Amino acid sequence: MEMAIWLTVVMGVVPLVLWLLWWWNNAWYWLVITTLRSSKRGTMLPPGHMGLPILGETLTFLWYFKFLRRPEDYITSKRQKYGDGIGMYKTHLFGRPSVIAFLPSTNKFVLRDNENFKYGWAMVELVGKTSLTGVHGKAHLRLRSFVSRSINQPNALRRIGLAVQPRMISALQSWTKCHNITFYDEMKKVTFENIGMYFASIESGPTLDNLNKYFAGMISGLRAYPLNIPGFTFHHALQCRRKIQAIFKEVLDERRNNYNGDDQPINDLMDGLMNLKDEEGNRLSDTEVLDNMTSILLGGYESIAVVTMWAVYYLAKYPEVLQKLRNENMALKKSKSEQLVTSDEILKLEYTIKVVDETIRLANIAGFLLRITTKDLEYKGYTIPKGWNMILWLRNVHIDPKNFDDPLCFNPDRWNGSMLPENFQAFGYGPRICAGNMVARLQVALFLHHLSTGYKWKLVNPDAKVKYLPHPKPEDGLQITIEKL
């Protein structure tokens, strides 16, 4: 009898507790927005579910990304349940209440508004409050203009294009001696050697090797749960950031000691940041120089290596695309007497650039972007509360059949026709679009030129599974066999 009573209690109480846990976040945030925060009657949060207390939908997110390895289904499941509606869903991710935007129009709405949606969350803590990512207004415009001139304008592209090729050529030659390589690891080394040189004039060696290791640790924290506690990924990322800045501080101090107060010749990005002045003639502080060095290198380092890796993967999978790419680049190579090509020449290769853009669309290194609201906002009758994360789901934009026919097929020819700019958001959109988008495209195109005209390769594990966190890459790091043509 007593056992039956306990069994009845358990069977009644446990479901009730689970039901309360499941709906607690929804009820709590509904209460906050409707009674404590809202200044207007009738406002409500976007559709969606806030998940469990504290954890929110983190477990659901990990289920789709790490276990099922079908990240697109995370949004698809919501679209099937709630419909497209206004293109936004409420949720609770990465330790904060959030709104996910997943349609081109809603992403565009957020990305064009630089005042009401600002960088927040872990991003600013990692890259620095005085970096290009963290500052706003005139400071942002001044820094962005300088960075764009330094790495993304025609003269800068010409200089960088010639500077990066010798290491690419040397690496390809050395890889054939090994025959079997893990492409992702090897490409990161080449990319980082180039970035280390033209950003800070740091030659290959122990210092650059340490920077490479620490940047890898920083990148792992960009999509990690933001807990600054020993043993957690985010804490490790912050430790790596401190070590990176300590290395750059040594370089900066050495230059300051040789600097008499006048403008010095600009040999790299660090020199340029040291010489940069505001409207009143004030230079950047050491903290501002270090924050911007760290954030700019972080932005370029991984993205170039990942996009190049996926280009090599897709070209191996689609031999007809590779042949068209090779024919175009062979024609350029035969027209030249020297080994290096110029940025002007490579950027005129229409099919090659289409291959690069199609790779960027599918690779989606930044599967989503993060912003934070600075005040309560209204959007089509719904409230987006102040202090909430805005998660802009770029991956959905790029693989939505409504935006691209047969979106998971690698098809560079889809870029032949006109395309709405808002349907391609790999570099962001609006006033904070990536300042290095052209130099990233250029470096990938240059590598494909030298690879396709001199080498052939095969995937060792063509059916390798893909890991999606912190960014998509084959589980084996893309092992290939490579040899000369």
Q: Binding site, residues?
A: 434
Cα dihedral 213, 189, 369, 400 sign: negative
For 395-436, what is the HEC assignment?
Answer: HHHHHCCCCCCCCCCCCHHHHHCCCCHHHCCCCCCHHHCCCC
Report cis status (omega within 30 of 0) of the bond before 470: yes
Cβ partners under 8 Å of residue 342, min gap 6: 158, 161, 162
Residue 158 CB partners (closer than 8 Å, separation 6+) = 342, 343, 344
Residue 456: strand, helix, or coil = strand
To the nearest 10°, report the CA torsion of 299, 304, 305, 306. 90
Return the residue matching tokens 């039901």: 19
Question: What is the C-alpha separation between 238 and 216, in angstroms, rounded?
Answer: 12
Q: Are 455 and 354 in contact (CB under 8 A)?
A: no
CA separation for the pair 34, 50 (Å, rounded): 16
CB 287, CB 120: distance < 8 Å:
no
- Binding-site entries for heme: 434
3-class SS of residue 182? strand
Cβ atoms of 293 and 248 within 8 Å: the answer is yes
Exposed, middle or buried: residue 242 (CB in 10 Å: 0-12, 13-18, 19+)?
A: exposed
User: Is 297 within 8 Å of 135 (Cβ atoms)?
Assistant: no
* Residue pair 48/79 in contact by the 8 Å Cβ criterion: no
Confirm if 291 and 127 have CB atoms less than 8 A apart. yes
Q: Which of helix, strand or coil describes residue 304?
A: helix
Instruction: Name which of 207, 216, 223 is nearest 239 in CA terms.
Output: 216
Q: Quick check: helix, strand or coil at residue 151? A: helix
- d(CA 434, CA 428) in angstroms, rounded, equals 6
First to last CA, the chain: 83
Tokens at residue 330, please? 């062979």
| Cα–Cα distance, 270 to 196 (Å, whole number) | 11
Q: In the structure, how many helices (H) and strands (E) does the chain have?
A: 17, 12
